[in-house]
Amino acid sequence: MHNRYLRIVLSLTISVLFSQSLSALSPSSWETILADIDAFAPRIEAAGGERALIEYIQDFAAAHSLETQDYDFSGFRNGHSFSKVLSIEISGDREDTVWIAVALDQPRDRAPGKEAGSGNLGVTAALSLLQRYSEVTPELSLRFLFLGSEHGSLQSGGSRMVLSQYLPGEPVAVLYLDLDEARLPLHLHAGARGSLAPLWLLEGTADALAKGGLTWGVPTALLQLQRIGLGPHGSLIEPYLHAGIPALKLSDTESTYSNTIPVDRFGRRFEGAIDSFLSSHAEGLPSAWDRNYLFFRTQNGYFSMNEAFHVATIFVVLALTILYGSVARSRTRRYRSTIARNLWNIPGFAAVCFAFLFITTLILRQLLHIRAFPELWSYYPIPFFLLKIIGAIFLFTLTLQVVMRLPFSKNGSFYSATALLLLFAGVVVSAIVDVAISYYFIWAFLCAFLFSVSRRRRYMFLLMVLAPTPLLLFTFEALSLPELRVAETLLLSPVRGNLLQTLIVLPFLLMFVRMDFLIPHPSPGKRRWTLKLLSSLTGFSSGALLILLLGITPFSEASPRPVLVADHNDIETSSRTVTVRTPNRLGDVDLVLHEDRYELSSLERQERFTTAHRDSPLDVQVTTNVFLDRKRVRLRIDADRPLWSIRLRLLSEEPLFLLHSELPTRLTDDRRRGEVFIGANPELPLTFEFTVPADAELALEFISVPFTETPASYIVSPGDRLLLSEQFRELVILQNGPR
């Protein structure tokens, strides 16, 4: 009861604090709006901060004579939220529409007591643009979307709900503002898994930002990965791209290269950029959608290659290759004959290369085992990759000095010709798989071609270095992304990853062997000098990297180790299980959990123990009413503390039929299990009904997750940071007959 009165007092306080007069805002008041938005943090899904922000936006729109449409999640499939979506439309000179989208809620980890700032500048930007274009008619129509449940229980729930009610008509494009601070450069995210935004939208946004005076960047490697179905999960623009709507996300990222500028200065530049974007598309939004493109940031702008350019380049390369083969017949004949004579060498070298990549993969796995830190590679993917590649090259060059005494080809032309053949095959295969990826192999093929016809060793060395450079830059950028699946495949996959790397690395190693034939040993009568030199350098580098990775740690007082504590209470069995998990060895840990102290010591990464269970926070009242062949079940749920979520599962021995439910539901294929979607942060007490056949016998399984106050539950260690997950499980057996 005390908690309920406390929540009422807090709600009244929020209403008083946030009910401000909005009519006094000046057109350039970015700082004023941002200060107002900051006051609503943390904006947890459907919680007081988000509800207060919704009221603020509605009042803001009304102060500027704009009508707000709000949508709830009552009709959402396979999920539910108590949040909302606000839509505000402004008509322009054309019906082509740009959607300005921002998230209302913040990620759950921005809980009380933690930093709260996610998305504040994005909401500020949307409101400032809304204010600007309420006074000036834009060239295109605008629709401002303030989306609930974007970071909460329903990933991109607000976006998916808007799209479920969208009927295609006039051209539409989405600019998603995911901005925290007035920080430059802005990052343009134009892709999601399996789909990219059209090139015109990326180029148009980049041009507009440049004209507005805002610096920007594009993660080129991420675009490549997303086009082939890789990349991080849960992109905020993914629902739009998969629905066939051009979309691009603007975000700011803290890094050593970023700098923060005054908010009002950022605001003026950003408004100028949006003005420029709208005016550049005053004739309407393009309908073309080119997904097979490359986009590079340059010092003075950008350089892009569209699909037509790629296709034309491939045909030109093929034509020039055929033409050269018909003109330089003697060289072509020599290459053809040496490959035919020594064809068996190719699988031999490939097997050696694969074997050494396989060995270095085992070395990496053993290193992780010794450190008892299986995810260490995810903290240092580039050093691990360098150790693997450099170590494999060391073993390759060391072995090659012995192998070359065997009856392998001593003809240098064979190695040039084989490198050309393999890279040409790479061009063809990559063009079939994804035409944009062929760029890297076209570059390498052209360098290898010039390498084979060059007569000067210095030029050959330069071309040998330049050939793999774009692939290496792409790999390093890909490894620096939060896409662990790509890094894990390259580093730890014993077969698939190593087979891929063998096919890519082998041509460049053969080019190096060709160079070894050309560079004489300083001592007369001796050979393999470059192989010995390279094996010495790579051997020293491999040893240094191995020592580094055996001792390095990513954790410190400034960057504490995450300690995951799962506290699960089962009311049905009167048991409580606490699981403590760390990325590396647990070591000695003093855990203070709800005023109980536990001293743990383990050489393993996980420790599990049982202790006295805690009482459930839930108070569930069930009322049933049978009429004819139907049973109406009425639930009233309350709690003695704030809850993040309540999960309700329906369990039955016989197939279950839900005749009606006030909340969305889903049944399994055998209809013996079901779930009623309640949603995050429900306002309690919560009352709802569902209807089943009168003879239905089922159990109601409730799993409740309270808001976790980590400052009150912590680990006594300056280098550890607690991540607590607490839940309570209880069963309510549904009795037959009315209750």
Structure tokens belonging to residue 351: 């097997």
pLDDT of residue 435: 83
- The pLDDT value recorded for residue 28 is 47
- pLDDT at position 527 is 57
Checking if the pLDDT of 724 tops 90, the result is: no
Half-sphere exposure of 406 (CA within 13 A, CB side): 10
**Which pLDDT does position 4 carry in this prediction?**
43
The pLDDT tens digits for 578-591 are: 999 989 888 888 88
Place 522 in a pLDDT band, splitting at 50, 70 and 90: low
Partnered with residue 178 across adjacent β-strands are: 251
pLDDT in tens, 404-425: 666 777 788 898 999 999 999 9
Mean pLDDT of 257-279: 93
| Tokens matching residue 189 | 């995210």
- What's the first-to-final CA gap in the chain, in angstroms? 26
**Candidate from 106-110, 205-209, 265-269, 686-690 with smallest mean pLDDT:** 106-110
pLDDT at 110 over 80: no
The per-residue pLDDT for 310 is: 84
Question: What class, spelled out in words, does domain 557-739 have in CATH?
Answer: mainly beta
Cβ-based neighbour number of residue 559 at 10 Å = 12
Residue 99 scores a pLDDT above 90: yes
Distance CA 15, CA 476 (A): 50
Q: What percent of the chain has pLDDT over 90?
A: 51
Asked if pLDDT for residue 736 goes beyond 80, the answer is no
Q: What is the pLDDT of residue 529?
A: 67
- What token pair was written down for 631? 């049973």
- Average pLDDT of span 56-82: 91
Average pLDDT of the chain is 87
Confidence at residue 514, expressed as pLDDT on a 0 to 100 scale? 87
Residue that wins the pLDDT comparison between 24 and 368 = 368
Q: What is the pLDDT of residues 343-365, one digit of tens each?
A: 888 998 899 999 999 999 999 99
Domain boundaries, the chain: 2-305, 309-551, 557-739
469-479 and 381-403 helices, crossing angle to 10°: 140
Burial of 710 (0-12, 13-18, 19+ CB in 10 A): middle
The predicted-structure confidence for 132-180, as pLDDT tens digits, reads as follows 999 999 999 999 999 999 988 788 999 999 999 998 888 999 999 999 9
8 A C-beta contact, residue 621 and residue 688: no
Decide if 492 contacts 364 (C-beta within 8 A): yes
Burial 306-320 (b: 16+ CB within 10 A, else e): beebbeebbeebeee
pLDDT at 520: 64
- Three-class secondary structure of residue 192 per DSSP: strand
Mean pLDDT of the 106-130 span: 74
Q: Please, are residues 59 and 24 in contact by the beta-carbon 8 Å criterion?
A: no
Tell me the C-alpha distance between 48 and 53, whole Å.
9
| Between residues 7 and 307, the one the model is more confident about | 307
Residue-level pLDDT at 524: 54
Q: What is the pLDDT of residues 446-457, one digit of tens each?
A: 999 999 988 888
Q: Is 584 helix (H, G, I), strand (E, B) or coil?
A: coil
Distance between alpha carbon 402 and the CA centroid of its chain, in Å? 46
The pLDDT assigned to 331 comes to 83
Q: 325 versus 373: which is more confidently predicted?
A: 373
Per the DSSP assignment, residues forming a β-bridge with 733 are: 699
Whole-structure pTM value:
0.87
Q: Is the pLDDT of residue 68 over 90?
A: yes
- Is the pLDDT assigned to residue 13 strictly greater than 50? no
* Residue, of 119 and 624, whose pLDDT is higher: 624
Average of pLDDT values for 95-105?
A: 96
Residue 431's contacts (CB-CB under 8 Å, 6 or more residues apart) are 310, 314, 438
What's the pLDDT score for residue 382?
94
Q: What is the reported pLDDT for 20?
A: 42
- Give yes or no for residue 9 having a pLDDT over 80: no
Question: Using one digit for the tens of pLDDT, what is the confidence trace for 622-666?
Answer: 999 988 889 999 999 999 988 889 999 999 988 988 889 999 999
Lowest mean pLDDT among 127-141, 326-340, 571-585: 326-340
pLDDT (tens digit per residue) in 187-197: 999 999 889 99
Q: 254: exposed, middle or buried (C-beta count within 10 Å: 0-12, 13-18, 19+)?
A: exposed
CA separation for the pair 701, 647 (Å, rounded): 8
| pLDDT for position 98 | 98
Give dist(CA 220, CA 238) in Å, integer: 17
List the one residue out of 643, 645, 647, 611 whose CA is nearest residue 709. Answer: 643
- Which of 103, 114, 6, 104 has the alpha carbon at shortest distance from 56? 104
CATH superfamily of 2-305: Zn peptidases (3.40.630.10)
Question: Which of the two residues, 109 and 318, has the higher pLDDT score?
Answer: 318
Contact partners, residue 529, CB within 8 Å, separation at least 6: 516, 519, 520, 521, 522
